[in-house]
Chains A and B, each alone.
Chain A
Amino acid sequence: MEKTIVRTEGLKKYYPACGTVVKALDGVNLEIREREFVSVIGKSGSGKSTLLHMLGGLDVPTEGRVIVDGEDLSKMNDEQLAVFRRRKAGFIFQQYNLIPDLSVYDNITLPQELDGAVIDRDLIDDLLKVLGIEEKKAMLPSMLSGGQQQRVAIARALAMKPAIILADEPTGNLDTAASHDVIGLIKVLAARYQQTVILVTHDQDIAQLGDRIIQMGDGKVLRGSDFHAAK
């Protein structure tokens, strides 16, 4: 039986806005198991992206705990969170978020460079080959299509072999064919490197590609909060 890799306990994120409080997350309890592919769906403003950011240590909760691979993120300071992000979490954003001045290769190796780690060239070459961007590695991101840029973002997210892959609307800017292509690659590579994927999407078809679907609404998990939940 697979162990739990992500667990949240009473997770809350409140924002002050125009004299009122926006409850982006309102007591989320969640468990995700190792190597699971989870899709998080919900309407705009339901809190799905906020949840993803909390799980990846990009944002800090107002209340509650986030435990990833045995580490309590709520007890970490900014420096520890940064180290956590580059070692344990791999992000894939809707806007790709590639560094425009760095080549494809340099973008992929950036987390390793930041970590001072020895670059696993075989792994990078493997990723480039699988993702079909081997020929593009010396190019700047602005010279690539949207789909190709997202492949670079996937390679970057996987290059450190993180415990979890956090994908925030990775197909939001892509057409249907490219979208399925990208999700397929994420799935194949996550399986290959035994990683857990948490995918935020508003696209029901894409969500269906996951092992489990978590539905969010008004900052709460409406459905699929634990791994026993049916798809």
Chain B
Amino acid sequence: MLQNNNQAIIGKLAENGIRREKGKFAVLLFSVILASFLLFSVFTAGETWLKLSRLQNTRLYGAEYDIVLANGFTKEQREFLLENDKVESVGIQTYAGYIRGTELDETADTGLLWCDETFWEKQQLPARTDFRGHYPQKYDELLVTEDALEKCGLKGHDVGDSFTMTYEDNRGVHSGNFVISGIWDGFGDTSPVYVSREFFEKAGYDLSAQGSLCIKLSSNFVLPRTIDKIEAGLSLSDRQSFQPMGYIENSWKVLLGIIGLCLIIVLSAYLLIYNILYISVAGRVRYYGLLQALGMTKKQLKAYVSRQMKWIAIAGTGAGILIGAAGIWLILPHVLSALGIAVENIRFSFSPAVFLITVFASIGAVLCGMRTPLLMACRITPQEACGYRPEKEVASGKERPARRRTKGIKSHRKSFYFSMAWMQIRKNKKRSAVVFLSLALSLSVFYCMTTIIQSQGERTVADNYLDSDLTVRNDTTTEEIDSLKPALTRKTVREISGLEGVKEVHVMEGVPVTVLSEPFMKKYIRGYTDYVPYTSYEEEREKYEAEPQTWYGMLKGIDEDEFSYLNSTLGDKVNSEDFLTGKTAVMLYPGFNLPEEDWQNEQVEIEAEGKTLDMTVSAVTYEPYYGGTRNLGPTLIVSRSILQEISQDPVILGMNIRYAEGFEKETEEKIMTILSDSPYYDDFYMDSKLENMKQVQASQEDMMQVGIAISLLLLLVGILNYVNTMTCNIQSRRLTIAIMESLGMSGKQTRKLLMGEGLLYGAGAVLITATLGTMVTYGCFQAMNYMGAPFSLPVMRLLVATLLVLVICAAVPVLIHDKMVKEKSPVERLREFE
């Protein structure tokens, strides 16, 4: 048979078809645009979110890396990482000693670090905000921050200035003159001072024992398997520590989340296209039948419908991406600004992969969505086309008897509406499930974001020891037994306690003591010398025997409330009576690699101010709050009354202050004013919850903003999807509604029925959010909760969002129906189907 070119007539028919049904095709085009827009936006926003997560980590840890290999590394391990294609860069950072004091501050107590070029030039660069000078090249050059200078009492020093410092490294204690080669500032810990390679090499440290490798992976997303493979390939020793960052460990979950989200969007778009096409085909059965009667083959009919959809897909995807790009780069920042969210640091990035995924996914949704209606159009026979009514086709699938309800739909009116509404939801389970999920997802993301934001709020961030708002520590001690100064006076404590905004003050007092028990001290010195390689056990023991004060300890007294708290943090609980009567003491972990059991039940005798005390170590605490004094010997914690038995006038070592809620900022300012009057102000170590909170908020701010942008987008997805589904749903039920109205259902009853249906969708979404959403939120919260903030729900905000969703769900079907029906009487609507 001769082939004729019939493409022209098919093209013309397709064109005319679109022109004739402008409204329907406009909705189709809109749905494709919407799907591409949402896909593009979610992918781009998701990718930006991940970049910001990395930036957040970079800011928190002061460098851009994903895994740390600590406690030393071997050359082979470094080479393995450098050759690994999953690894982008491997930086070295290592401890190089510490500054004991400078010419202006005897108790500078600042760490010295050395890092290699990769770490400094690549990994640390994103966390730096300012840098002048250069990285140390010579032995006597140092790289500092303003914070480090202040800590060393060298405030005001600049690049090129020199100073004298006493420092300790693995070869001993030294003094020397050093030049500031550079000053930097940035995120992360800004207290350490960086030294040159020459300094590090002479300091006696070994990279295989102290060095850390900072590993940055080449991908933003990695599977746990990749991390495990790297770990396995390193063949770690027992003392080495391999620590992946929480962000990189969870990156696959984020990726899964984005994929899930996009699947929902694609599925929604598919369902929407399917629905619209289905209704379109169902409404044109006679026309298709006529075309076939006139000689159009099924193949030609398929080509005719496909051609229309191809045009829609191409135009819709293109427009969607353009609108998505405009939305992301132009509109969203303004929306966020209008909502009071700072947008300076948000840079949405474009990626060709995102572009391609959007194109494929959108066109894929159109192709899949048109498949069934297309087959349906092809199955229509000219005979069937006569007398066709869409309602007959709606109940597709296997026909089965309706659930028998001998008592009717329901005996009560309210239940009748519920029953009818529920029936509609069950009718197309796939479509309903997508709407439920889409709405629940939007609500859950909103729920998750607001909960995390709320939980990182002012009162809930970073619970300190004893839940204090401010910890002040007397930092005047050196290795000399008589170095402890009364920096914190009883007058200062009284003044601070008397402030209006101060709720609670716990004072820790202490006195330097000489340890008389030789077996205890021998064990102690053995542990110390094993840990500090340049020291010798014999020498130190002889030093102790000759002059026990060189190995002085610190006896610290706490009140009964504080003891209860301390006891609650201990693994093995201490008998209160024994502690309060001085029979037992809690020892602070001395920092040696010895298990705590080694110290339990050790007898120790101490002496101070001519009096002696004998006690048993009942437990070991790791709480750094009880540290901060530079005694070489043990730190023992006893009850205050026991401390007072041995010392007439113990020195205040620290204060733990809690503020009354709502007065935090002013109270802290007042306390700072009182403390700044002290001549020892520079020797106070302070840990402020408010300051911690500011740091956390600064590092999390950008991520939260993108989170809010994503949750707003998702809320839009959910609502639009709901609107679209309800539009199709009501459109397909116009006849049913018209029949019911012809049988006596009033307009009010119709609205009630539609509202009930909407409310069921809303309630279902709320239910999913309240159960699964809470579980997911809790999981996400814990994954991000590195500061140990308690989980708290922003009840008001959630309530408002829930009510809003319910109102939208209830109102949308009614508005759609009213718009569709306009002023038409039931009979006019019935005629449309005749």
Contact = CB atoms under 8 A, between A and B. Distances in A.
A85 B736 contact: no
Which of B387, B391, B400, B743 is packed against the most chain A CB atoms within 10 Å? Answer: B743
B406 interface: yes
A101 B736 CA distance: 9
The interface centre, meaning the residue of A110, A111, A137, A139 with most chain B CB atoms within 10 A of its CB, is: A110
Contacts of B744: 82-87, 111, 114-115
Contact of A106 (B391, B394, B409): B409
A130 interface: no
Nearest to A115: B744
B404 A138 contact: yes
B399 interface: yes
A87 B744 CA distance: 8
Given A99-B736, A116-B413, A79 B395 contact: no
Given A100-B391, A100-B392, A114-B745, A119 B825 contact: no
A103 B621 CA distance: 73
Contact of A140 (B389, B399, B405, B406): B399
Nearest to A82: B746
A161 interface: no
Contacts of A137: 404
Interface bracket on B:
35 or more
B827 A140 contact: no
Interface string A46-90: 000000010000111000000000000000001100111111000
A44 to B, nearest CB: 12
B747 A105 contact: no
Contacts of A95: 389, 833-834
A110 B410 CA distance: 10
Contacts of B403: 103, 138
A109 B830 CA distance: 21
B373 to A, nearest CB: 19
B186 interface: no
A100 B734 CA distance: 12
B736 A105 contact: no
Interface string B392-419: 1011000111111111111101001000
Interface string A90-118: 01011101111111011001111111100
Nearest to A78: B747
B387 A173 contact: yes
B746 A109 contact: no
A91 B743 contact: yes
B401 A140 contact: yes
Contact of A79 (B391, B739, B748, B825): B748
B741 interface: yes
Given A101-B395, A139-B401, A140-B401, A79 B740 contact: no
Contacts of A94: 834
Interface in B782-834: 825-828, 830, 833-834
A188 interface: no
A87 B745 CA distance: 11
Contacts of B177: none
B749 interface: yes
B423 interface: yes
A174 to B, nearest CB: 12
B694 interface: no
A12 interface: no
A158 B51 CA distance: 69
A35 interface: no
B523 interface: no
A191 interface: no
B427 interface: yes
B742 interface: yes
Nearest to A103: B402
A106 B392 contact: no
B453 to A, nearest CB: 44
Contacts of A99: 736, 739-740
A60 B748 CA distance: 18
Nearest to B402: A103
Interface in B307-342: none
Given A119-B411, A138-B404, A110 B743 contact: yes
Contact of A58 (B742, B745, B748): B742
Q: Name which of B424, B746, B825, B834 has the most chain A CB atoms within 10 A of its CB.
A: B746
B818 to A, nearest CB: 13
A60 B409 CA distance: 31
Interface in B759-794: none
Interface in B371-400: 387, 389, 391-392, 394-395, 399-400
B369 to A, nearest CB: 23
A109 to B, nearest CB: 4
A142 interface: yes
A156 interface: yes
Given A78-B747, A100-B394, A101-B427, A110 B402 contact: no
Q: Which of B389, B745, B748, B833 has the most CB of A within 10 A?
A: B745
Given A109-B408, A138-B402, A114 B743 contact: yes
A87 to B, nearest CB: 7
A143 interface: yes
B746 A79 contact: yes
A105 B405 contact: yes
B395 A142 contact: yes
B585 to A, nearest CB: 78
B827 A59 contact: yes
Contacts of B423: 101-102
Taking each of A58, A79, A100, A103, which has the highest tally of chain B beta carbons within 10 Å of its own beta carbon? Answer: A100
A70 to B, nearest CB: 19
B395 A114 contact: no
A112 B410 CA distance: 11
A109 B392 CA distance: 21
B395 A103 contact: no
A179 B740 CA distance: 25
- Scoring B424, B743, B744, B745 by chain A CB atoms within 10 A of each residue's CB, the highest score goes to B744
A86 B743 CA distance: 6
Contact of A82 (B394, B395, B736, B745): B745
Interface string A135-173: 001111011000000000000100000000000000001
A220 B748 CA distance: 35
B176 to A, nearest CB: 90
Contacts of A112: 408
Contacts of A105: 404-406, 408
A58 B424 CA distance: 25
Interface in B714-772: 736, 739-749
Contact of A100 (B395, B409, B410): B395
B827 A103 contact: no
24 contacts: A58-B827, A79-B747, A79-B748, A82-B741, A86-B744, A87-B744, A97-B739, A97-B742, A99-B740, A101-B395, A101-B424, A102-B402, A105-B404, A106-B402, A106-B405, A106-B409, A109-B409, A110-B743, A114-B744, A116-B413, A138-B403, A140-B399, A143-B401, A156-B743
Given A85-B742, A95-B389, 10 more contacts: A58-B826, A97-B739, A99-B739, A99-B740, A100-B394, A106-B405, A109-B408, A113-B416, A114-B749, A138-B401
Nearest 6 CB-CB pairings of A with B: A86-B744, A82-B746, A103-B402, A85-B744, A138-B404, A58-B827
